[in-house]
Amino acid sequence: MQKNGTVDSKIMTQHQLQTELLRCEYCEEKPCKEACPVNCSPFDFMMAARVGNPSDIKRAAAEIMSSNPLGGVCGLVCPDRFCMAACSRKKFDGSINIPKVQATLVEMAKRLGGIPAFSVPTPNGKKVAIIGGGPAGLGVASVLGQLGYAVDIFESRETLGGMMNLIPDQRLDKAVVQSDIEFLLSLGVIKAKTGKKVENPKSLLGQGYDAVCVTTGLWKPIELGIENENLAIKMVDLLANKEVYKFDGRVAIIGGGATALDCAITAKECGATHVEMFMLEKLSEMPLTGAERQELIDHDIEVNGRIRISKIQTGGKGITGIETKKVQLPEGQPFKPANILDIEGTDVVRTEFRTVVMAIGMRSYIAREQINGLFYAGDVSNGPSTVVEAVAHGKNIAIEIDAYLNKQDKPEIKKATKSYYAMPGYNSVPVSLETDFFGRKINSPYLLSASPLTDGLEQMNKAYEHGWAGGIMKTAFDNVPIHIPAGYMFTFNHLTYGNADNVSGHPLDRVCREVEQLIKQWPDRLTMASTGGPVSGHDESDRKGWQSNTRKLEACGVMGIEYSLSCPQGGDGTEGDIVSQNAALTAKIIDWIMEVGSPDIPKLFKLTAAVTSIVPILRAIRKILDKYPEKKAGITLANSFPSLAFLSSARLPPNLDMASSVTLSQVPLS
Ligand SMILES: Cc1cc2nc3c(=O)[nH]c(=O)nc-3n(C[C@H](O)[C@H](O)[C@H](O)COP(=O)(O)OP(=O)(O)OC[C@H]3O[C@@H](n4cnc5c(N)ncnc54)[C@H](O)[C@@H]3O)c2cc1C
Ligand code: SF4
Ligand code: SF4
């Protein structure tokens, strides 16, 4: 465990993560996604992570980064007014802590070897310059990089990140900023030119760049116009170089916003014994999130609401005190600095302060110009916002730049700080579905139940061509004439139950020949077949029938045999239709099969869901299988519509046609 302030102290434990993932309702409308400025989908990344395998965590992180390439940072600093405010659980037992889940997943993926790489397109030959390497500039670069542009980011400071570098360490570990940026730069041909201040952005248009995007943020402190203001420490200077400041005694902070709070906390970290904030707002008007209000309390910061500092006193050797004045907001007026009035005669001189920090807001140094090919994004364009909104705006402006350079119409963007763009290089299927079937590797766990109309060689070939990992040629018998009208298989009416899990009309010998051909042509697929046998009550002849069918299929090389121990539709009502409802009969038949079956060819005994209590049947089966520990066998519960078979046809919608599907759920017993 690392010290407080590093990402370890901010992310969840495995147990906390699982608890939050289980609390998610996976709401169909995804309100959390819609409320996120970059359209990041908590629904999807939490769903991806639910099982918790390393590949799931990496996929979840890639999902996050596909809409927010600063996903690690945002997990640590996103305020609760976006996704969390929209979370369906908010009014029930509290919102899911989505940012923290996000931060945890991204960090876990990085520790598991990194976010899965995104593909990078071939360069399109065009070049774009971005002025400013903060979240907005990085957002622009990520999209343009993914669209094939060569991007140069000019940054006046020595590192990329912009104001993210000013966010106090106890909230944002700078290692996360660095690793997110590294990932982002890998999204395309994106070069960082740090230590390069651009005085005249438009001049780059004549220097080989097809477009220029200004994302220089707000770096000019707003001035109050009070006496000796120049003696106050500026917010940027304190937060960017806190190691050079050593305070003792009381520190006064001018300002009541989140950055003023950051300055107050930083002043404490720099040694101040007591910190007081002076602001025009009263406590309830401070623009702080719930978490920030808690920080105010946790750090024991004093709040002086409706009091302004009117003068900084100096005695020649620095600050000797401050003068304050009470202010008021006239009745009925909304809070804004312009509405605030001084209350005369309320001046107070306080001599215990030697340090004052100015944190009332910032402006842009850069004047906006309307020139073709010159674009603006982020706080320089929208005023002070958040990391995620700056990224969202950057992504939107990148789409505008792309349209401009391709001579297309300007895309319609409904809200500057909501971007729907997702990185096209995201590979949404980075995990292998390979699985194991009784020791045989198969490409995926999805197997085709090939019953009429799809139980022929031709149809199986088509299924394999389309990637199915295997199939079961559906239940065939020896010398039992079966005729199934085609409509029976996919029509729902009072005579049929649209069952796709029916017996085959093909004789077993034909199925054996087709199995042989399939295995020859598709050795990497799991080709199985299904059969049954007679249930006449004459054990000796019945036994021969089941064993003969088993031997025939094994002789053709089948990779597994399924035995149909009941008819899901109820069949013609003979005992053979309901074998698996009779534990003793089920056990007897399984014993006959296991007696002669090859140990290497798995046997799957299919019980119909019409069985009312499965436990005595499983116990009986278990007893038999225990006699053959070296032989591979299991049960399946794969029937499709047994319960519908007992519905009164009057309750089924008239003339309802529907296709049905069947899944194979396999429960190995040995
Ligand atoms: C103290 C503090 C705490 C914050 N806390 C949070 C928080 O908890 N959560 C949150 O979401 N947001 C927070 N924010 C806000 C967030 O950091 C900003 O909204 C976001 O960084 C704005 O991104 P931007 O890219 O538009 O601008 P910036 O981040 O300001 O980036 C602009 C970049 O341009 C560079 N630049 C400027 N002029 C030039 C030039 N002429 N040539 C080259 N480069 C230039 C700058 O050096 C800078 O790197 C905080 C901000 C501050 C100051
Ligand atoms: S709104 Fe909340 S509960 Fe619903 S999917 Fe999003 S995070 Fe989960
Ligand atoms: S990026 Fe921020 S707002 Fe969006 S889902 Fe993640 S934590 Fe929520």
pLDDT of res. 658: 30
Residue 246 CB partners (closer than 8 Å, separation 6+): 270, 271
Ligand 2 midpoint to CA 97 (Å):
10
Ligand 1, atom nearest to 380 Cα: 26
pLDDT of res. 315: 86
Q: Specify the DSSP class assigned to residue 4.
A: B
Instruction: Give the span between the Cα atoms of 375 and 397, in whole angstroms.
Output: 7
Check: CB of residue 74 under 8 Å from CB of residue 68: yes
Instruction: Give the span between the Cα atoms of 115 and 97, in whole angstroms.
Output: 22
Indicate if ligand 1 lies below 6 Å from the C-beta of 392.
no
Which of 68, 167, 261, 362 has most ligand 1 atoms within 8 Å of CB, for mutation?
167
Ligand 3, atom nearest to 83 Cα: 8
Cα dihedral 583, 584, 585, 589 sign: positive
Beta strands in 289-413 (DSSP E): 302-305, 307-314, 319-328, 341-342, 348-350, 353-358, 362-363, 374-376
Ligand 2 midpoint to CA 99 (Å):
12
Ligand 3, atom nearest to 33 Cα: 5
Q: Whose CA is nearest to atom 6 of ligand 3?
A: 99
Ligand 3 midpoint to CA 63 (Å):
12
Strands 603-606 and 633-636, bridge-based pairing: parallel
Low-confidence ranges of the chain (pLDDT < 50): 1-4, 640-670
Question: Which ligand approaches the C-alpha of residue 44 most closely?
Answer: 2
If we measure between CA atoms, which residue out of 529, 525, 497, 501 comes closest to residue 513? Answer: 529
Indicate if ligand 3 lies below 6 Å from the C-beta of 76.
no
Ligand 3 midpoint to CA 182 (Å):
20
If we measure between CA atoms, which residue out of 51, 46, 56, 397 comes closest to residue 215? Answer: 397
All structural domains of the chain, each given as residue ranges with its CATH number in brackets, are 5-111 (1.10.1060.10), 127-220+364-405 (3.50.50.60), 223-359 (3.50.50.60), 435-666 (3.20.20.70)
Angle between helices 42-49 and 14-23 (to 10 degrees): 120
Rounded to two decimals, what is the model's pTM? Answer: 0.74
Indicate if ligand 1 lies below 6 Å from the C-beta of 385.
yes
If we measure between CA atoms, which residue out of 557, 514, 553, 499 comes closest to residue 530? Answer: 553
Cα 364 to Cα 165, 395, 651, distances in angstroms: 18, 21, 70
Q: How far is CA 545 from the centre of its chain?
A: 54
Ligand 2 midpoint to CA 27 (Å):
6
Indicate if ligand 1 lies below 6 Å from the C-beta of 375.
no
pLDDT digits (tens, 9 = 90+) for 233-245: 999 999 999 999 9
Indicate if ligand 1 lies below 6 Å from the C-beta of 336.
no
Indicate if ligand 3 lies below 6 Å from the C-beta of 42.
yes
Instruction: Give the span between the Cα atoms of 274 and 481, in whole angstroms.
Output: 94
Other Cβ atoms within 10 Å of 423 Cβ, number:
22
Check: CB of residue 577 under 8 Å from CB of residue 570: yes
Indicate if ligand 1 lies below 6 Å from the C-beta of 390.
yes
Indicate if ligand 1 lies below 6 Å from the C-beta of 155.
yes
pLDDT of res. 401: 98
Other Cβ atoms within 10 Å of 647 Cβ, number:
11
If we measure between CA atoms, which residue out of 600, 549, 562 comes closest to residue 471? Answer: 562
Residue listed under structure tokens 């706080």? 379
User: Which tokens hold the place of 480?
Assistant: 């039992």
Percent helix, percent strand, percent coil in the chain, to nearest 5 = 35, 20, 45
Ligand 2, atom nearest to 43 Cα: 5
Name all residues whose Cβ lies below 6 A of ligand 2.
24-27, 30-32, 42-43, 87-89, 96, 98
Instruction: Give the span between the Cα atoms of 226 and 234, in whole angstroms.
Output: 14
If we measure between CA atoms, which residue out of 81, 105, 107, 85 comes closest to residue 96? Answer: 85
Question: Which ligand approaches the C-alpha of residue 216 most closely?
Answer: 1
Helices assigned H by DSSP within 28-78: 31-35, 42-49, 54-67, 71-77
Q: How far is CA 652 from the centre of its chain?
A: 40
Which of 45, 67, 74 has most ligand 3 atoms within 8 Å of CB, for mutation?
74
pLDDT of res. 441: 94
Q: Whose CA is nearest to atom 7 of ligand 3?
A: 99
DSSP codes of every residue in 630-670: TS-EEEE---S-HHHHTS-GGGSPTTEE--------EEE--
